């Protein structure tokens, strides 16, 4: 009986080991790493889907909180005032620092819609998430 139990335990360990070795592993791909300056006490994250019509452009604006956006669909022209413009495509992540004047976050396609997922990193006293500006 003891040999049977030993054999069963070895067989079970082998099966578990084989299963653990062949189980699919989640692939983690870093998209962005940005320093938040100044640092911020984040007490909530608001996540919003932003649907852009073909050729839609955003007005000059800023966010009083840091924002991380993920390009779900399409291509975007992005520019912070005083910095070079960048082009982002589906699968890219973009960091918008708090209080940076955003000149462009525009759907580059004149024929296709585009989608962003925006995550606003807000603190207890943050109520407005966007401020539209005049030039």
| 12 domain-assigned | no
| 51 domain-assigned | yes
The 10 Å CB-count burial string (b at 16+, else e) for 4-23 is eeeeeeeeeeeeeeeeeeee
| pLDDT tens per residue across span 5-62 | 454 455 555 555 555 567 899 999 998 888 887 788 999 999 999 999 999 999 999 9
| pLDDT tens per residue across span 78-123 | 999 999 999 999 999 999 999 999 999 999 999 999 999 999 999 9
User: Looking at the 3D structure of the chain, how many domains does it have?
Assistant: 1
| 89 domain-assigned | yes
Query: Which residues constitute the domain of residue 61?
Result: 44-132
| 48 domain-assigned | yes
| 124 domain-assigned | yes
pLDDT at 20: 54
User: What is the separation of C-alpha 132 from the centre of its chain, rounded to a whole number of angstroms?
Assistant: 22
| 73 domain-assigned | yes
| 33 domain-assigned | no
Inter-residue contact 114 to 74 (CB < 8 Å)? yes
């Amino acid at each position: 009986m003891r040999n049977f139990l030993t054999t069963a335990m070895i067989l079970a360990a082998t099966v578990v080991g084989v299963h653990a070795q062949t189980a699919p592993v989640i692939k983690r791909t870093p998209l962005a790493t940005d320093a938040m300056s100044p640092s911020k006490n984040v007490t909530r994250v608001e996540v919003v889907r932003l649907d852009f019509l073909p050729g839609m452009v955003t007005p000059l604006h800023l966010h009083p909180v840091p924002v991380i956006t993920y390009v779900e669909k399409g291509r975007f022209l992005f520019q912070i005032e005083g910095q070079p413009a960048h082009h982002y495509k589906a699968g890219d992540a973009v960091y918008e620092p708090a209080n940076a004047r955003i000149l462009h976050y525009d759907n580059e396609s004149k024929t296709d819609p585009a989608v962003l997922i925006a995550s606003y990193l807000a603190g207890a006293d943050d109520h407005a998430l966007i401020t539209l500006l005049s030039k």
